[in-house]
Structure 1
Amino acid sequence: MEFINTKGRAPWMELAESIAKEMKGCKEGKEPMYSNAKKYLQYCGLKTKPTDGENGPWCAAFMNWVIGQTINPKTNMPYNHAKSASSLAPTHNLTKDKYKQISEPIYGCLVVYKHIKEWKGHTGFLYGKTKSGRYILLGGNQDDTIRFDSYGEMIGNVKKIHGFYVPKDYEIKDQDKLTDNDIYESAKILNIKFGIIAEPSTGKTN
């Protein structure tokens, strides 16, 4: 699959939205979400099952697969990304040439959370913010599916926000910056809008 976004903002987001609509909140243990999540892990070179909570978290695999299908019109190649299922890939020395850290969050950027004690975390695409200032992420493996959820500076008491990133070859445009149009009452409103069947979030990200 090769995908070229024509909307102008973070070009990988149109594909991410499309998949979220297609999955409709289907859980990772059921089809078609199981096969899709497995495909994302395989893209990253892993044979683990997405239902394996310890070895099969696929939040980063989903993001990198989406970016990997999105063509940079200047290079006619996918935007820079690592074929990695690690949510902390943007921070790794071996893959830091694939991403660049940005000081202010923008629409579609990768929001990376790091576990306060362990070398793991969570990541998702920034879709907007709630009126209370929480980050709304469109992400994979959020309550075992692809859905919108909102998080603060911490997820639970163990995962703390580490930074914001974009593919290194992506040129940020003015329209990528967050505006009042990116502020929502809650993530629930977006799940309803996109036809995602989602019960209240439990905060589960593995």
Structure 2
Amino acid sequence: MGDQRYYVVDGATLQCDKGSAPTKLKVTSQQTEKLKDKLQATVQDCKPNENIMPFGTCSITKGSCSPATMPWKDPSKFVDNNGIDELLDKSTCQCTVGGKISVMDPGQKFIFETVSKDDPSNEIVEHKECHCVEDAAWMKLVLSENAKNIVESAGKRSPEIMKYYTNTPYENDLKITDSNNSWCASFVNWVMENSGMEGLKSKDAYDKTRALKWKEWQGGKVIANPVYGALAIKQRRGGGHIGFVAGTREVKGKGKKLVVIGGNQGNALKAALYAQNDFLAFVVPKDYEVCLACYELPEYSDKADNSSTES
């Protein structure tokens, strides 16, 4: 495994270790090469007050910052932009006053290069783009089902909900109605099986309908943090709950919340807001390649309610 380094774009956040405030990078060195619709930065984007703006108060002069910057160091050696070296998030720029300028945020987390940790020459072994949203193909089915506004009917058997029990022991159980059985795990099983994957297998056929058992999914692997499309598994009173990570949302006064689409959330299939630490595990298909950029979850713009009942 190598170190991932991200390319820098217009609007990247810079910080000087002698300045009191960060500033944004303005790219003027070229106007053609873009990453995700943002101009890519090069070593020539080092001009004071044009590319690099003042950093508030300078701790050396005790007055207002007046950048006197030198060329950027440690650019990418893998690809050049019309013969000009491109900046990476590890690149630094020295100010002749005494400060060292570094990249706090490269402005994008989709295009990166990977360098070998073991090669003494630090040879670049990959240059790639994160495709996590596109690769989580099962989410297309999740989103299309979510758009149907499926809601439980007490004491009834909705065809839309009953179909999620396909290939489970409950498939032909006439005692099952919308409201007398938790169906979040059955929804997950139905999505994965209808997206070309195997559902959860065990000696107990009922396990695929039990949320907590999906931590042991033979077709998956547990990851430390959520990525788009991951199965989010949590404990609740009386059992567990499971849904699909669909992104994040900033909630005023409460910070960033995780958006999870799942069945049996407030007696419906819908998107709901949770704290990340509500969940005890995140699981993705075992062949799903997770890169650092995958952890930059997309902002979820559609309707998402506060979390409520899950039983």
What TM-score do the two structures reach when normalised by structure 2? 0.47
Q: Which amino acid aligns with 1:14?
A: K
Q: What displacement does 1:139 show?
A: 1.0
Q: For residues 218 and 247 of structure 2, what CA distance do their matches in structure 1 show? A: 26
- For residue 231 of structure 2, what is the aligned residue in structure 1? 110
- For residue 150 of structure 1, what is the aligned residue in structure 2? 273
- For residue 129 of structure 1, what is the aligned residue in structure 2? 248
- For residue 162 of structure 1, what is the aligned residue in structure 2? 280
- For residue 205 of structure 1, what is the aligned residue in structure 2? 310
Runs of 4 or more, structure 1, over 4 Å off, are: 173-176
Q: What displacement does 1:96 show?
A: 3.8
Counterpart mapping for 1:189-200 below 5 A: 189-191=301-303
Q: What displacement does 1:62 show?
A: 0.6
- Residue 256 of structure 2: SS of its match in structure 1? coil
Q: 1:36 to 1:153 in 2, by over 3 A?
A: same
Q: For residues 108 and 44 of structure 1, what CA distance do their matches in structure 2 show? A: 23
Decide whether the 8 Å contact of 2:136 with 2:228 is kept in 1.
yes
Q: 1:174 to 1:36 in 2, by over 3 A?
A: same
- Residue 81 of structure 1: SS of its match in structure 2? coil
Q: Which amino acid aligns with 1:177?
A: C
Query: Is residue 51 from structure 1 mapped to residue 183 from structure 2 by the alignment?
Result: no
Q: What displacement does 1:173 show?
A: 4.6
Q: What displacement does 1:35 show?
A: 1.0
Decide whether the 8 Å contact of 1:90 with 1:98 is kept in 2.
no
Decide whether the 8 Å contact of 1:107 with 1:176 is kept in 2.
no
Aligned length: 165
Q: 1:43 to 1:80 in 2, by over 3 A?
A: closer
Counterpart mapping for 1:163-178 below 5 A: 163-168=281-286, 170-174=287-291, 177-178=294-295
Decide whether the 8 Å contact of 1:9 with 1:176 is kept in 2.
no
Q: What displacement does 1:8 show?
A: 2.1
Decide whether the 8 Å contact of 2:162 with 2:178 is kept in 1.
no
Q: What displacement does 1:138 show?
A: 1.0
Q: 1:96 to 1:42 in 2, by over 3 A?
A: closer
State the percentage of identical aligned residues.
24
Counterpart mapping for 1:87-102 below 5 A: 87-91=211-215, 95-102=216-223
Q: What displacement does 1:174 show?
A: 4.2
Deviation string for 1:159-196 (max 9, x for gaps)? x421100123x32254971436x134xxxx512xxxxx
Q: Which amino acid aligns with 1:148?
A: A
Decide whether the 8 Å contact of 1:10 with 1:176 is kept in 2.
no
Deviation string for 1:2-38 (max 9, x for gaps)? xxxxx723110001111111x2x231218xx821211
Deviation string for 1:75-100 (max 9, x for gaps)? xxx22431611111223xxx542321
What TM-score do the two structures reach when normalised by structure 1? 0.69
Q: For residues 104 and 201 of structure 1, what CA distance do their matches in structure 2 show? A: 21
Which has more radius of gyration?
2
Q: 1:45 to 1:18 in 2, by over 3 A?
A: same
- Residue 137 of structure 1: SS of its match in structure 2? strand
Unaligned runs of 5+ in 2: 1-132, 202-207
Deviates more, 1:60-69 or 1:40-49: 40-49
Q: Name which structure has the greater RCO, CA cutoff 8 Å, separation 6+.
A: 1
Q: 1:96 to 1:144 in 2, by over 3 A?
A: same
